Structure 1
């Protein structure tokens, strides 16, 4: 849900994204289901995936997860093309496809459960989820459990297994960019975005720079699709989200007639699978599985399928965010 540039704003979620055109298959942009709803329809539950006997890396998982055969994933499933519901209600996208590939290596099913983005780490801490996988930007603040706005310690932090690189973009109604090309052009305008994201951090930082009489107004929503709806209806001048999400909205909303990207993406940074600090065995198993799917070519097929190959990584990295 966003678009970006040079400064690194540590905490927000950045669902960010890779440079380059995004040629995504024409799945419809569909709103995510209700908060905190379990979803088993991401296609990862086939017998081959769930069978640890056929999985080369099953032995690396914690025994408790091997016994139940499921990795519970917290995700904001309203962020096409990273994770979203298709027209049939099935959870699809980059993250679910990658989870399927990881599941085949580990002999488990990745079971997606939807929640608002800014509650996912809390759900991870409370053990509602085993991992959070939701276009979440790996940042030092998140690793250390620091609130990016106050600088105060709010939790024990999480570890990340980084699997993609993305940046943030700005988009406007098509044919009505109002001269917006950079973040500094937003002074005197109104921007809509998703709460808890890098887009929100960038907007707040920019608002502090705007001169008197040219205030930047920010309206934040629980999910990116709500922000898109607001902009589409004329309730704002611009929106911001991670590049792949913004590019997908531009391509699909209104058959490509609703929005346009403006300026360059910024704040390129890694997406990571978040894991509790205490669960190093699961973290290391995920890293091994990701390296395996990169090596066997499944990872590249997924990147190509969703048109995001320029955000692909060459290897899994633990806590690579800065």
Structure 2
């Protein structure tokens, strides 16, 4: 998958007011009184204790630190977003907490602009990141990535598809498309879709897409009819459609499937420990439990697919 600055999945926030559906842009996924919960967000998950062999892999400074700083762009439900209380929640959050528990550590989740996270890792501002990053060879030049989940890209439109947009990226020529900045999808528009539109003698996606720093704002723009379509990672699109009270629909099939990677500093022994923890969580059922809780079990990887720096493009 050609995810260059790729990202993840959305936080939507729709409220029914004065007979019209509007999406909030405050970073939470509050929808019509619902806190943006997953299909079963109240479900608890296993809390297995530390694995001594994995703890032994950690450097002394991380053991002494006890709590690691984990960066995430909390506008991308159901992977990572803020609930009604302002707490960062989601699939990545549950998974990150379970991984660190296996290592005898805790997480201090910090919301960050998606485009700044890798720089924050290399600058040692953050210890690691779970934020729906697609693993790419370009990213692997700066940081290490432990693959943990498989996602594709997808397209959403207003319910009923009033503009009769086809279900593929090739059908978006001349269409106003909402997209989050610094994502796979924004790169795809600039590097693949618009050049192909020009080659075919068609209009390009205006402005290279209607770009937003937060995925919540991209979703808001589509529901408000500022845009005609939205591109995002498949879990994000699926979640946005479910949470939109019928305002949105998905068109076409998922495409460009590729693994997400947990981001750690280049050469850090934390990568191997995380890899081992993930395999433990798959074996004891916690991994499947978390993905099922957030309605994204279709993206599960097997233990032998939990690899380090496995990007193919």
TM-score normalised to structure 1 length: 0.80
Equivalence for 2:186: 200
Instruction: Say if 1:98 and 1:29 are closer, same or farther in 2 by CA, change over 3 A.
Output: farther
Shift of 1:309: 1.2
Q: Does 1:179 align with 2:164?
A: yes
Deviations 1:192-220 (A, max 9, x none): 11111111122122111214562211111
Cα separation, 1, equivalents of 2:105 and 2:289: 21
Task: Give CA-to-partner distance per residue, 1:131-163, whole Å, 9 cap, x none.
Answer: 12100000111112xxxxxxxxxxxx1111111
Could you tell me which of 273, 279, 297 is aligned with 2:262?
273
2:249 alignment partner, SS class: strand
Q: What is aligned with 2:17? A: none
Stretches of structure 2 that go unaligned for 5 or more consecutive residues are: 11-22, 29-46
Task: Name the structure 2 match of 1:305.
Answer: 293
Match of 1:210 in 2: 197
CA contact (8 A) 1:15 1:168 kept: no
Partner of 2:145: 160
| Partner SS state of residue 239, structure 1 | strand
Offset, 1:265: 1.1
Contact 2:3 2:183 in 1 (8 A): no
State the superposition RMSD in angstroms: 2.2
Q: Say yes or no: does 1:169 pair with 2:160.
A: no
Q: How far apart are the structure 2 equivalents of 1:31 and 1:287? A: 34
Q: Distance in 1 between matches of 2:193 and 2:153?
A: 14
Alignment map for 1:96-175 (pairs within 5 Å): 96-144=93-141, 157-175=142-160
Q: Shift in Å at residue 103 of structure 1?
A: 2.0
- The 2-side partners of 1:32 and 1:71 are apart by 23
Q: How many residues align?
A: 274
CA shift for structure 1 position 16: 6.8
Aligned to 1:289: 277
CA contact (8 A) 1:30 1:78 kept: no
CA–CA distance in structure 2, aligned partners of residues 92 and 115 of structure 1: 14
TM-score, normalised via structure 2 length: 0.82
8 Å contact kept, 1:172–1:239: yes
1:56, CA displacement in angstroms?
A: 6.0
Q: Hey, which bits of structure 1, 4+ residues long, moved more than 6 A?
A: none
SS of structure 2 residue aligned to 1:317: coil
Of residues 209-218 and 93-102 in structure 1, the stretch that sits farther from structure 2 once superposed is 209-218
8 Å Cα contact 2:25-2:217 kept in structure 1: no
> Is 1:252 equivalent to 2:243 in the alignment?
yes
Alpha carbons 1:16, 1:166 under 8 Å: kept? no
2:25 aligned with 1:12:
no
Q: 1:235 and 1:282, CA in 2 relative to 1: closer, same or farther beyond 3 A?
A: same
> Which residues of structure 1 form unaligned runs of 5+?
1-7, 18-27, 34-47, 145-156
Residue number in structure 2 paired with 1:78: 75
Aligned to 2:27: 32
